[in-house]
Each structure stands twice: as C-alpha cells, then as structure tokens.
Structure 1
Amino acid sequence: MNTETTVTSGSLLAAAPLAALAGLVSFVSPCVLPLVPGYLSYVTGMTGADLAEQRRGRLLGGVALFVGGFTFVFVSMGAVAGGLGRWMLEYQTTIQRVLGVMTIVFGLAFMGFIPGLQRTFKSGRLPNAGIAGAPLLGVIFGLGWTPCIGPTLAAVQSLAITEASSSRGALLSVAYCVGLGLPFLLTALAYRRALGAFAAVKRHYALVMRIGGGMLVLIGIALVTGLWNEMTIQMKSFIGGFETPI
C-alpha cells in the first residue's frame, strides 16, 4: 500500500476529521480544560503572572514538547490498533459491530449517563517542572489521563482498528493529536484571551458533553449498521472519479 493510497482512502478521509474533532472535545472536557493553566505553568516553569506577560518563546517551546510527548503515546496506540485490525481482517464485520456498540457506550458515558467510566490514573511521581521535563509530562498525560479522555480516544482507536493498517491507525491518531494539541498551542499564543474563552466553555459544560457524546454515539451507530462502510465506499467512488481541471 503506497502513501498516496493510504492518505486518500475514503475511510481515512472520513475518519480523520472526526478524530480531530474528538481531540478537540477531549481538550474542552472537564478533566482537561480546567487544568490547562496548570499544565502550561508546569511545562515552562513559569508562574501565572509570567504566563500572562506573554513570554511566548518559552511558553511555545514547553507546550510543543508537552504535545510531542502525548502525541508519541497516542500515535503508538493508533499504530498498534491498526495492526491488530489488519490481523483480524477476516472478522472485520463482527469486530466493527462490537466496536460500534462499545463506541455508543463510551458516548453515553461521555454524556454522563454511565457514571464511573471517566476516571484519571495519575502518576505519583512527576518530572521536574520546566521545559526539560515537558516531554515526559506529555507522556505521563498520555498514559495517566487515558481513562479520563477514554470515551473519545476509544472511539478513535475503534476507527483505527477498522482501518486495518498500522500506518492508517497512526495517521488517525495524528489527527486526534492535532485536535487535542492545537488548542494547547493556541492557548500559549494568546494566553489571556484563551482564559476568557475557557470561562465561556465552562459555563456550557453540559452542552459540550452532550454534543461530544452525541458525536460518539452517531459514530457507533454508523459502525454497527454498516453505514460507515457505505459512506467510505461513496467517498472512494467520488475520489476515484475526480479529475483536476487543467
């Protein structure tokens, strides 16, 4: 499978935007958004006052290393999930339906209808504060916060398994990390404005969780009913018939 086929496959084109959106939903979830100022302070070694002064070079450097840390974790997970999907390709239809049901359950959990499925396992030992410890803190975030952002991440990994390819699974996880990591970087660029936006999101947490969970439920229904396959077939047909005008 060449790179062009991998990137332009109908299923991946359909799944990548959803994965990025899932990453954004994870960012604005109650277990991540309220802690963002703390993350930024920790990975840069700066106080809240220093952050407000917009010392962007150090702030962007620390955040980029932090994002790189959890991106490594999630992309590795995606590659493994895609590889497992390829190994289980013979049972793809059954597996896809099971994953669809699981995604629906995760969506309902994200909306708060199934208590106990959103937890955070925190490491008892953290790296030293500052830029040097930022990548390791990103890795700890990727591993320790997985149960907390599990519903959205699990939906992305379910799609990675249906891709039946390690490279596609990794690319799908990259899309998720873009959705999760880009807001961190934008926050570093405009810290004061971002705090105002965070306050607005916090006032509408119930709506955010309903929308995010509803998105996961719809993805699960599409996987269970086979609508996902039909949609990707249509996209492949569209891509195959597209010609660039001269």
Structure 2
Amino acid sequence: MNPVADITLWLALGAGTLSFLSPCTLPLFPAYLSYITGMTVKEIQGSQEIKVRRKLLIHASLFILGVSLIFISLGVGVSLLGQWVQGLLSGQSGVFLQRIAGLFIIIMGLFVAGLIQWKGLMKERRFHFTKKPVGYIGTVFVGMGFAAGWTPCIGPIFASILVIAGSDPTMGAVYTITYVIGFAIPFFLLTFFLGSTKWLVTYSQKIMKIGGGIMVVMGLLLFTGQLARISNILLRFVQDSWFSNLG
C-alpha cells in the first residue's frame, strides 16, 4: 500500500468518528439506543446485568450492520463509477480526479466548520419510523434508514469519502469500510458508557470545527498534489526511526 493510501485510510477513520460525534448525531444517540433496544435511557445507564449488556451489544451490532450495508454499497458503487470514468479519460485522469476530489473536500470542510452554508445539504432526509419494526431484524432496518438519510453533519463528511473512493477506485471500498469502522468505534464505546455523551455534546461544535479544518488542509494537499510528497516524507521518517531503534 502506498503512503497516500495509508494517510487516506486514517482520514477515513477520523471522518467516521467525526460523523458520529457531530451535533446532529451524538445528541440523538441515547434516543436511538433506547429506540432500538426498547429500554429507557435510565435502564440502559443503570443496569449492569450481563443479560442487558448482551442485549445492548446485539442491537448495537445489528444497527451498525444496517449502516454498513448502505454506506459500503454506496462506496462500492462510486468506486465502480470512478473506474469507468478513468477508463473514458486519458492517462491524466488520476490527477484530474484527484484535484476534483481535493476541491470538493475543501468545500465540504468549510461547510463542516460552519464557515459556509448550503441549504441543499441542510435538509434532513433521514427515514423516520413511527414504530420500530419488531425484533433484531427491525434494528437492521433502523440502521439502514439512518444511513440512507442525509443530515447536515454526516452528509458532507461521508460525501467527501465517496469522492475520494471515486478518485481511487482500487481502494474505494476499503476507504468506505474504514469510515464505517470509525463510526462504529465510538458507537460501541458509548453504548456501555452512555453518561459520557453529556460532556461530549458540550464540545461537539468545537470538534466539528477542528474536523472541518483538517478536511480543508487535506483537501488542499490533495488538490496541489502535495499529499504524496508529505506521505513519503513521513514514511521515510518512520522507517529511519524504526531502523535507528533496531540499531
């Protein structure tokens, strides 16, 4: 794997985590967890029984499965589209798509940081269930409904990952899977430490601004072609440090 792909994987992982910690997801997390398990927030916070913990883990896993089915399907679809586009264009298609991806990420980063507004992205298209479908299968459908929505925070971040997937079709599915992992890690952690969401919500706006700033920097590096150069410098630094420690 080349150094650029390594950095992009970390970016995708961070993007997934940022999506979960966004102000339009994190504050709703307790309600979602209560909805898919059929338990009250107090019951989830207070119970230490193994039976309850197992129930939480199963529902959380099935919810993430539903999210994954939608996100990964989109990632694979965009990768195939990117591969087709590259086939139509000349040998410089990789550079062209890279610059388009960089420009798009810059715009989305400014949006995530709150520096620009885009009414089309501010519309929420998430599915709303008046009543949860019965059983564990119902939790999968709720996860799919959540992922199929386009919220003001998740939409721009995930769209950036899709654009990267389209510009690098060979790694597109991997980037999308990494994004899902980044989303799943805090989801599982906070499932068992629900009380921690309170202080995280307080800082979610600041987290988004920092994340948006990082997206802008990565977009600039991608657009100017400097990402590969910086990746090689970091790789050489890590290799030199590793060999020096061995010596």
Q: TM (normalized to structure 2)?
A: 0.83
Q: 2:121 matched to 1:121? A: no
Post-superposition offset of 1:68: 0.8
Post-superposition offset of 1:156: 1.4
- From 78, 84, 88, the counterpart of 2:85: 88
Q: 2:101 matched to 1:99? A: yes
Post-superposition offset of 1:11: 2.9
**How far apart in 1 are the matches of 2:225 and 2:207?**
27
Post-superposition offset of 1:73: 1.1
Q: Which residue of 2 aligns with 1:51?
A: 44
Post-superposition offset of 1:130: 4.7
Post-superposition offset of 1:16: 0.9
Q: Which residue of 2 aligns with 1:5?
A: none
Post-superposition offset of 1:149: 0.6
Post-superposition offset of 1:44: 1.2
Q: TM (normalized to structure 1)?
A: 0.83
Going from structure 1 to structure 2, the CA distance change for 1:231 and 1:217 (only over 3 Å counts) comes to same
Which structure 2 residue ranges, 5 or more long, are not aligned? none
| Contact 1:10 1:239 (8 Å CA) reproduced | no
**Amino acid of the residue matched to residue 38 of structure 1?**
A
**How far apart in 2 are the matches of 1:201 and 1:236?**
33
Pairs within 5 Å for 1:57-206 = 57-89=54-86, 90=90, 91-115=93-117, 116=119, 117-125=121-129, 127-128=132-133, 130-145=135-150, 148-165=153-170, 168-191=171-194, 195=195, 197-206=196-205
Going from structure 1 to structure 2, the CA distance change for 1:40 and 1:129 (only over 3 Å counts) comes to farther
Report SS of the residue matched to 1:114: coil
**How far apart in 1 are the matches of 2:225 and 2:80?**
21
Pairs within 5 Å for 1:30-45 = 30-45=23-38
**How far apart in 1 are the matches of 2:105 and 2:65?**
27
Post-superposition offset of 1:110: 0.6
**Amino acid of the residue matched to residue 77 of structure 2?**
V
**How far apart in 2 are the matches of 1:162 and 1:239?**
27
Report SS of the residue matched to 1:88: helix
| Contact 1:62 1:131 (8 Å CA) reproduced | yes
**How far apart in 2 are the matches of 1:138 and 1:29?**
17
**How far apart in 2 are the matches of 1:15 and 1:146?**
23
More divergent stretch after superposition (89-98 vs 221-230): 89-98
Q: Which residue of 1 aligns with 2:222?
A: 223
Going from structure 1 to structure 2, the CA distance change for 1:80 and 1:147 (only over 3 Å counts) comes to farther
| Contact 2:24 2:152 (8 Å CA) reproduced | no
Post-superposition offset of 1:76: 1.4
**Amino acid of the residue matched to residue 12 of structure 1?**
A
**Amino acid of the residue matched to residue 175 of structure 1?**
T
**How far apart in 2 are the matches of 1:205 and 1:50?**
25
**Amino acid of the residue matched to residue 201 of structure 1?**
L
**How far apart in 2 are the matches of 1:215 and 1:135?**
32
- From 7, 13, 16, the counterpart of 1:14: 7
**How far apart in 2 are the matches of 1:87 and 1:240?**
36
Which structure 1 residue ranges, 5 or more long, are not aligned? 1-7
| Contact 1:66 1:138 (8 Å CA) reproduced | yes
Number of residue pairs matched by the alignment: 231
**Amino acid of the residue matched to residue 151 of structure 1?**
P
Percent pairwise identity: 32
Post-superposition offset of 1:201: 2.1
Going from structure 1 to structure 2, the CA distance change for 1:10 and 1:87 (only over 3 Å counts) comes to farther
